Every structure is written in C-alpha cells, then in structure tokens.
Chain A
Amino acid sequence: MTKKYSLFSLIKEGLGHNLGWEKAWRDPEPKNEYKVVIVGAGGHGLASAYYLAKNHGLTDIAVIEKGWLGGGNTGRNTTIIRSNYLQEPSIALYEKSRRLYENLSQDLNYNVMFSPRGVMMLCQTHHELRAMKRTSHANRIAGVETFMKTPEEVKSIVPIININGPRYPVLGGLWQPRGGTARHDAVAWGYARACSDFGIDIIQQCEVTGILTKNGKVKGIDTTRGKIKAEKLCIVVAGHSSKLADMGGFRVPVESVALQALVSEPIKPMMNCVVMANTVHGYMSQSDKGEMVIGGGADGFNNYTQRGSFHHIEETVRALIETFPVISRLKMLRQWGGIVDMTGDRSPIISKTPIKGIYINCGWGTGGFKAIPGSGWATAELVANDDPGDLAAPFSLDRFSEGRMIDESVAAAVAH
C-alpha cells in the first residue's frame, strides 16, 4: 500500500492501475475515552488536532464531526489568504497563518494549491485611502510586506479594472504580493490525512448532544454514537458555537449570520490576483477552473440556514460590475451560504472558558479560512499548556468585559 504522495509514487501507482493507494484517512469507531476531544472537523478543528500532535506530542485525540469533515465553512468560502490587518495581535496571528500556508503542502505532504498571487485591496473613497495608508504603515512596522499602489499601478496589475468611477473611482490600492488563495477542500483533507497518520481519530457523522461537567470541570460529551470521556474539550464549531456553549453552561459573545458567495461560468484567464473592493462590498478572484469567485457582505440578521438573501447577490454583483464592466454579461453558475459567527469587535476568540478543561475557538466571522494554520497553531498551544501563548492571549473571552477590543471592524476587509 502506498502512503506518501510523490512523483515516484505517482508513477509507481500509475503503472499499477492506481489500485495500491491507501485511504487518505481512517474511519474509526469512537473509543470510550480520549485525552483531548475536539468538536468540529473543519479546517480549524483539524489544524488544532494536527499541531497538538506535531508541536506538543499529544495523539490521544478525537475530532468529532456532525456532518462530514470540511463540510461547513471550510467548504463554503472564497479561499482568500492575506494578513494585511491593522492591529498588532491580528497581524501576528494572520501573518503566522499566511507563513504556515507557504510550506503547508510540503508539511502535510498534500497539495493544498497555495497560490500567492497577490491581494489587491482597492481604495475607492478618500477615507479608505487614508485608512489603507495607515494599515500599510502598521504592516511595515510589523514586518508584513504590503505596499500602497497608485491608480495607474493598480490598472497595470489588474488590467480589467475600471479606475475612473464614476461613482467609486479607484484612488489607490493596498497590495500584498504574498497573499493569495488555496484550495479549500485540500486544506481540510490534507490536515485530516496528516492527523489520521498521527493516530488521531476523526469521527464523522457523530453529533454532540450534551457536555458533561462536574464541579465546574469537564468530564466528557454525549454524542449520537455514545458517551465519550475527555480530559480536555475544545469547541471549534463556528456558527454553532452558541449552541455548544449553551450545552456547557456558559455564554459566548457571538451571533450567527449567513455569509454567501457565488461563482460564474468558467472563462479564460483574465485576472491573476485577488481584488477586494471594500467600499462597495465585493471581492473577486479567478479560480484555477476559470470561474470568477465572488463574495459579498453578510446578512444583518441571525440566521442558521446556510443560504443567503437574494438581494445581497444583487448588491454584490451590481457593485462589482461598476468596477469590472467586463463581467457584466457573465452568467452566474451557483451560489452558496455559510453560517459565520460574528463577535462584537469582529476579531476571533481563542480562549479558555469558565468551565475548566473546555476551550473555545470561534468568532472568525467572515475571515476564517485564511487563519486555519495559525489558528490551529495557537489553539494547540492553548489546549496543550492550559495557557494561551503569545498568539492566542489577546483573543481571550474576557477581553469583552475588560474592554480591550481588537477592533478590526473599521480597519480591514468586507464586513470585518
């Protein structure tokens, strides 16, 4: 059975009619007891399990998943990776993540198709231009490579753009050359395969129905496939964080809303970077298949339905057509929605909870995909040491009562 993916194994298995490939991950029955149970086998949950094993030597771990792995927001995003944030804690976390993405394929022995094609954030009002200049200075101080570009330079990087408005002319752009995209499914699958190789059990089709606690300490979980005892429990369930927190008997300051995206029919290559237009609430990139991947703003009301409002598609597309007149005749192929958990300051939570032994990683809002490796790294550190490291410490739950917000909602991309 061939396990490692390489050119040599590809040739060998190709000659043998591809019958010798081992399954990418095991599908085990849940054991009665684990040292660490992670709820949620999305990108963040699997990455947390992976770095617990890789960096901290813990392998007695189960990752519990209600549906199938990578079937939530990991499979429902626009795959953009960037780290051009304003606040120091966010820059540290997202840049760590972006750097891990650079070598992720080699690290996991799984091609995640990280493509650092560059991310261009347009400035379409004078206020935005000023704010982006400030961001680029903050990035420079923190060691993140970003540059301000003039409208002419923007036009030379993205020839299909209309920089003359009339309603929202392009006044400049914040350019991060090492930002880009990756293949979202491959990120989840790569982590799942690497976790499985470490002996971590990924248990799919198993819904958590209750959290067992005693004297303010976690004892285990009730699931649709029986009771599982656990010393430590890490909740990484994005949109359903409030529901899990309810089971544990504590509250998290998040609200779940629907965020949607859409793709067009495939066309020939016409844009080789990611463009985000924050003022008009739209962002676009071209996938390797040639589809234009388009994302917009989130709905304003609480929603668990994994589909978005029709009028948001209209708003997003209407805005993008002004900036990219060339896409006006493009047909849209399909649309999807995901349930994102928004915090008050639009920054995530990686934290201990009032229940001893329960940790939570949530609140990624509309920008979770780019953070998968860094989030997993920080969460693993928190769970292994029962103490947040430098990356996770600013993102604790008590920042809300202490009033030390990490205020990215005014500083960064769409709906942040």
Chain B
Amino acid sequence: MLIIKCHNCGVFADETELQPGGEAHIRRYRSQSSTEDFSSYLFDRSNKKGVHFERWRHAYGCGKWFHVARCTETLEVFGSYSAQTLKPPKSILDKIKVIRPDFKGWKNE
C-alpha cells in the first residue's frame, strides 16, 4: 500500500486516505487553440513507465491537492510538493537523479 506525505498538512497518509488525480503539470490550452491541442490537453497523457509526476488530494484529511513524484514501475515515492507549481521543484528532480541515474528529466527536457 502506498504511503504518501501530504505536502499541505504534513501527515503521512496511506492510499485509502488519498484520492489520485492523474498526471500533474498539464496546462490547458487557451481559447482559439486548435482541436488537436485541446484534445491532447483532455486525453493525451505521458503514462510513463518509471518516474511519474502526478496529482493527489488528501481527500479524507485536509482535503487539499498536492503533487507527488512516484515511480509507476516500483511504486517508490520520491517526494511530494506544492500543487501551486508549473514544474517539479529542483530539490525533487535532484533527489530523483541520485536514486535513478538514468532519469532523463521532467518531460524529456
């Protein structure tokens, strides 16, 4: 069972206390954007086998959203961080690079 630290209230909550919210850092295209862009915002997901950045809500706790870096292959949790960010903070990325030397960086940047 996953145990994830809520970034907002600091509680180490188990999976049943949390609600998964899918991939993080997906930006909505502006109005007047093309159909393809909008459908990719709605449906296309990176679905990575490996390091995955995702949204979680502390549903049966403080009720707030936060982000988590987690491995979808081993279920290892690398850390949680604020949902009010456009990309993962450097501290999390550095930590992942230590644990996973072959980590290519966020969104293959």
Please give the residue numbers on chain A whose beta carbons come within 8 Å of chain B beta carbons, in ascending order: 240, 242-243, 251-256, 299-305, 309-311, 343-344, 400-403
Please give the residue numbers on chain B whose beta carbons come within 8 Å of chain A beta carbons, in ascending order: 1-2, 15-16, 19-20, 22-23, 35-36, 38-40, 42-49, 52, 54, 70, 72-75
Contact between A240 and B49, CB atoms less than 8 A apart: yes
Closest-by-CB residue of A relative to B35 is A401
A309: chain B residues at CB < 8 Å are 1-2, 15
B15: chain A residues at CB < 8 Å are 309, 311
Q: Please count the residue pairs between chain A and chain B whose beta carbons lie under 8 angstroms apart in the complex.
A: 65
- Which listed residue, B38, B42, B43, B52, touches A302 by the CB 8 Å rule? B52
Nearest Cβ distance between residue A302 and chain B, in whole angstroms?
5
B19: chain A residues at CB < 8 Å are 300
- Which listed residue, B40, B44, B72, touches A256 by the CB 8 Å rule? B72
Mostly helix, strand, loop or mixed at chain A's interface? mixed
Nearest Cβ distance between residue B71 and chain A, in whole angstroms?
9
Contact between A242 and B75, CB atoms less than 8 A apart: no
Contact between A301 and B20, CB atoms less than 8 A apart: yes
Contact between A256 and B47, CB atoms less than 8 A apart: yes
Report the Cα distance A400→B42, complex, angstroms. Answer: 9
Once A242-B46, A300-B20 are accepted as A-B contacts, the answer to whether A305 and B74 lie under 8 Å apart by CB is yes
- Which listed residue, A255, A344, A401, touches B47 by the CB 8 Å rule? A255
Contact between B75 and A401, CB atoms less than 8 A apart: no
Report the Cα distance A240→B49, complex, angstroms. Answer: 8
Contact between A253 and B43, CB atoms less than 8 A apart: yes
Contact between A302 and B72, CB atoms less than 8 A apart: yes
Report the Cα distance A402→B34, complex, angstroms. Answer: 12
Contact between A310 and B1, CB atoms less than 8 A apart: yes
Report the Cα distance A343→B39, complex, angstroms. Answer: 13
**Could you give 17 example pairs across A and B, Cβ below 8 Å?**
A242-B45, A242-B48, A254-B45, A255-B45, A300-B20, A301-B70, A302-B22, A303-B75, A304-B49, A304-B72, A309-B1, A309-B2, A309-B15, A310-B1, A343-B43, A401-B35, A401-B36
